[in-house]
């Protein structure tokens, strides 16, 4: 179960990187198209970057996050439930910031910054699962003496 916890947390972190790449692809595609004389509006053609960003951000990452939270109760990762809850909270915040950004685009900056926090916290959760429970306890015991 520790390896499943680690894999899920790692996949969430990778998902954030995919999100950054997808939104970069999306908006540079829009800029190229507009420079080429096209108009970008709600009737615009398919944009692969936006589609990837939508699917990964509103489907895949939330699913992985819920699975991580469920697995955290069985994985015996020290602090695993706490870190899974941090990831869950940041994903909920990320979704809320995305929704708010459509009404107040300046909130989009917070959406981008929160993505960095999610990447860091998911990576830390994965890293905690990489250390066996006994080795982690020994390290903490040495640190306190």
Tens-place pLDDT, residues 85-131: 999 999 999 999 999 999 999 999 999 999 999 999 999 999 999 98
User: Cα(57)–Cα(115) distance, rounded to whole angstroms?
Assistant: 10
Tens-place pLDDT, residues 7-28: 999 999 999 999 999 999 999 9
Tens-place pLDDT, residues 129-143: 998 766 555 555 566
Q: Smallest Cα–Cα separation from 45: which of 54, 33, 35, 55?
A: 33
Q: Record the tokens describing residue 24, joined without a space.
A: 């970069």
Residue found by looking up tokens 């939330």 in the block: 62
Domain residue limits at 92: 2-144
- Rounded to a whole number of angstroms, the CA Rg of the chain reads 19
How many C-beta neighbours within 10 Å does residue 89 have? 14
42 touches 50 (CB < 8 A)? no
Number of domains forming the structure of the chain? 1
């Amino acid at each position: 179960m520790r390896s499943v916890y680690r894999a899920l947390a790692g996949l969430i972190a990778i998902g954030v990187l995919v999100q950054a790449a997808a939104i970069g692809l999306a908006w540079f595609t829009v800029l190229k198209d507009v420079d080429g004389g096209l108009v970008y509006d709600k009737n615009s053609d398919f944009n692969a970057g936006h589609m990837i960003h939508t699917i990964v951000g509103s489907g895949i990452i939330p699913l992985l996050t819920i699975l991580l939270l469920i697995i955290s109760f069985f994985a015996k990762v020290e602090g695993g439930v706490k870190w899974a809850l941090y990831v869950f909270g940041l994903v909920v915040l990320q979704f809320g910031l995305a929704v708010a950004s459509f009404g107040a685009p300046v909130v989009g900056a917070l959406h981008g910054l929160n993505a960095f926090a999610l990447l860091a916290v998911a990576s830390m959760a994965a890293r905690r699962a990489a250390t066996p429970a006994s080795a982690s306890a020994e390290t903490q015991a040495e640190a306190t003496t």
